[in-house]
Structure 1
Amino acid sequence: RLARRGAIHVVDWQHVQGITQNELSMPGQGVAQLLMQFEDLRAADVANAMRELPVKRRMEVALALDDERLADVVQELPDDDQVEMMHYLGVDRGADVLEAMDPDDAADLLGELPETEAESLLRLMDPEDSAPVRRLLEHSPDTAGGLMTTEPVVLSASTTVAEALARARNPDLTPALASLVFVVRPPTATPTGAYLGCVHLQQLLREPPASLVGGIIDKALPKLGPEDSLTAVTRYFATYNLVCGPVVDDEEHLVGAVTVDDVLDHLLPEDWRDQEVAGQ
């Protein structure tokens, strides 16, 4: 039976209690309330909010998040907090979270752990997920090979512009990674077949949907090598006004792409995330 709707009461915000960040972190406030508050926040904002929680509450929230969401949040934490989180989660859940992380971020985290711990986690990961992480760990973290992601947008020359744009619209891609698509000979998984060149997102937007990307390749854009230094990568972005660049090995295989956000992470002071929280 339908009941009569009750009266609606409007309360001044100053009289509302129990849903501010400080109040939610107090004893007696449920994890469910925190999850509701975090639901629409960006991962970086959730990471900052979690760092302000008591350790016990922070870990309770971490356990309640699904692997994908927790992976996004962990990637935004400072190195020390990432290591602490991995130790709390344990190897089984830790491996699941690493699988959900971007390979370059997973490699950075594993690089902060003792070698035996890192290897234990890698062995628990699905081989398909651990393989690109292992390749990244072969490079120094301050080189293009250590900075790059192994999962850029890679296409064959016979891909249509419409298909390329559909790939670039993937919501899981960062704006920087979506700004450039790379064209190769098969296979298209990194390390790919022969690298042919790239196509800029702006160029895709100017072309008819049925056109093939093979006809609009930018072959003149210089490439980065896996051993190029952080300084060289920074100069590359500044010189060519880019936010993403291809990393190609000596055999002309595309092995990944570097984006400007990864460069900034290494150029900023190590405690930049701490400074951000302090300034809130």
Structure 2
Amino acid sequence: MIGFFDSGIGGLTVLREFRKILPEYDYCYFGDNARCPYGDRDDATIRQYTEEGVEFLFDQGAEIVILACNTATAHAIRYLQQVRFPDKKILGVTIPGAEHIIEGGYRKVGVLATESTVRNRAYKERVHIIDDTVQIQEIAAPELVPLIENGVFEGVLMEQILSTHLGKFDADIEALVLGCTHYPIIRHHIESILPHIPIIDPGYESAIKFREYLIRHPEIEKNLSRGGELSFFTSGDTMSFIKIGRNILNRDITQFTFSRS
């Protein structure tokens, strides 16, 4: 089983891409909706919450966990991989997104993300490890995740917020990274404001890279259960999670709940 962790519902956009490309595997998703958003929290808290979520997924039987959250990836993945779970497999979404910037030959790229992802300079640092001449402009949009978590995908307020933040990017950016896994839900709005700018979705890029990862690591692939089963857990309101999750995945989702004491 492949586990997915996110601060809320945004990671469902990553799960959606994985299921399109690798539908045969079993997946387990945990959204920490009760404590979402993570983007305005301090580094230690983000790391603690992410550690708890990842541990929960391993306890459910996950063979590998995907941090389907840019904020969690930026602040916790190295600690989780090197210190907390050195004998487990944990992957994030920022590296595939950053690698696609290089592979696409872009020289100046915008990143729309949460405050903490921007503060951490997650994409800039990762890209500059490979090529420090690529210009990365990171802009935070803190209002977006709370709106999306409450099921607000449309409307004047959403359009105004996006127009304000997208208008901060330099006019000559060559591509825009959706630096939060919630943002593909409102991708159509972003494309209407920046119609000629290619959009990079790290969730999609992560699914592509994960398929390649499994080919390189048959010893991991052989342990993944197959059956196309999906299970879902949330620390928040179950009915709200199901309602919004159906819209993202375009299917009914099985109801599981997890409440943290």
- Shorter-chain TM-score bucket reads under 0.3
In proportion to residue count, which structure has more strand? 2
Instruction: Tell me the TM-score normalized by structure 1.
Output: 0.24
Instruction: Tell me the TM-score normalized by structure 2.
Output: 0.25
Structure of greater Rg: 1
